[in-house]
Every structure is written in C-alpha cells, then in structure tokens.
Amino acid sequence: MRLIVWLVLVLNCIPVIAADTARSRMETFSKDLKSVSGSFTQQVFDNANHARDRTSGTLSLQAPRQFRWDTNAPYKQLIVADGERVWIYDPDLEQVTVRNLGTEEAHSPLTILTDLDQLDRQYTTSEQGEHDGYLWLRLKSKDKEPEFEYADLGLDERGLKRMVFLDKLGNRTEIVFSDWQRNKKLSADSFKFVPPKGTDVIGNAEPTSEVFPVKN
C-alpha cells in the first residue's frame, strides 16, 4: 500500500508536457512578439512543377499591420506597408505603385507572427504532420474569395522556417526563412516610403480610405 501511495505521489509531481504540434510551435514562436526581422529565399513553381522565379532578400514585420519585403537578388524590389498603404517600388523601372492596404494584405499569413489572434479569426487550420524535418500547419482563408488555396507553415523547435503557398492557378511558392531576430528595435523609417525624385507614381491611394478592425 505504501508503495502504491508513493507511486501516485511521484506521478502527480511529473509535469504534464504539451503535445508537440505545429500549432504549439507557432504559438511559442509568436508569444509576446511585437516585431520580427529576418532573411528569405523564395522559389516559384508553375502548375507543371517547373521552377520559375527565384529571389532572396530581407523582411521585417511590426504589429499591427506594417511590413517590409526587400528583394535584393536577382533584381531589386521593395514592398512597404505603412499601416494604411502598400508601396511597391521597382528601381530598375523607376516606378512605384501605391494602393490602399486591403484586408487580404493586412491579414496575410505572415502577419499572424505579430498578431496570433488573427489565426482563428481569418483562417481554418489543420495539422499536416511531419516531413522534411518540420511540423506543418495548414492555413485556409475564411474569405469568400481567398487569394490562395492554402498556406502551409513549416516549423522546427525554434519557430517558422518554411512557408508554401498554392494559388488559384496551381502555382506554388516556397519560402525559406532564416536569421530571425525577435523584438529587435526597428528604425522608424523601416515602414515609411517616399518615392525618389523622378520616379513615376502609379495610383493615388488615400490614407484610411479602407477601414477594418485592428487589434491593438
């Protein structure tokens, strides 16, 4: 009897370990995350699985809906969302396109890194098991007309490492992330864009012309 009591006491002292899932890794990575920056390599495949564009560069995100996507190779391109507008700058063309920050961009899968509450509001999720050394979480948009079929997030023990999109035409985009820096103080200019002198500006978006709920 004493042995049974001792075993019960010991077992009750063993901490309960949560199941290791892609969702739990995502939640751990995003906990208390206000800003994040890192590097990326992106490869696009067409619906016949032929490799197309391959690009690389850096990215930064900051709550609630600011991001910067800076492509460095094989060409230069800069995408900046300042919270109200999206600027797409092609220096080789000396051209910038500006438009209002729509819900499809503000609620892109990457923004859940700094606003995890979006995950269940904007997506249905399903565990995809383990392959290629990662646990995978599939996101499907709840929008009536989603921009993509699904986005798969590949996570290791340290956080998000891969992202795979499948668009409506069957094209697949694979992104590999590295060198994440959590809550690093980002320059105030990181999410601002002023068209360089002599640049053609296409679009005339008015700030705050499209309004949607944002969690502070």
Q: Quick: pLDDT tens for 141-159.
A: 998 888 889 999 999 999 9
In this prediction, residue 146 carries a pLDDT of 84
Global confidence as pTM: 0.80
* Residues facing residue 15 across a β-bridge: none
pLDDT average, residue stretch 113-132: 90
Q: Which H or E run includes 55?
A: strand 51-62
Q: Where is average pLDDT lowest: 17-26, 57-66, 88-97, 113-122?
A: 17-26
Q: What does the pLDDT look like over 159-196, one tens digit per residue? A: 999 999 999 899 999 999 999 999 989 988 999 999 99
CATH class of 19-202: mainly beta
Domain ranges of the chain: 19-202
Give the DSSP letter string of 133-197: TEEEEEEEE-SSS-SEEEEEEEEETTEEEEEEEEETTS-EEEEEEEEEEETPPPPGGGG---PPT
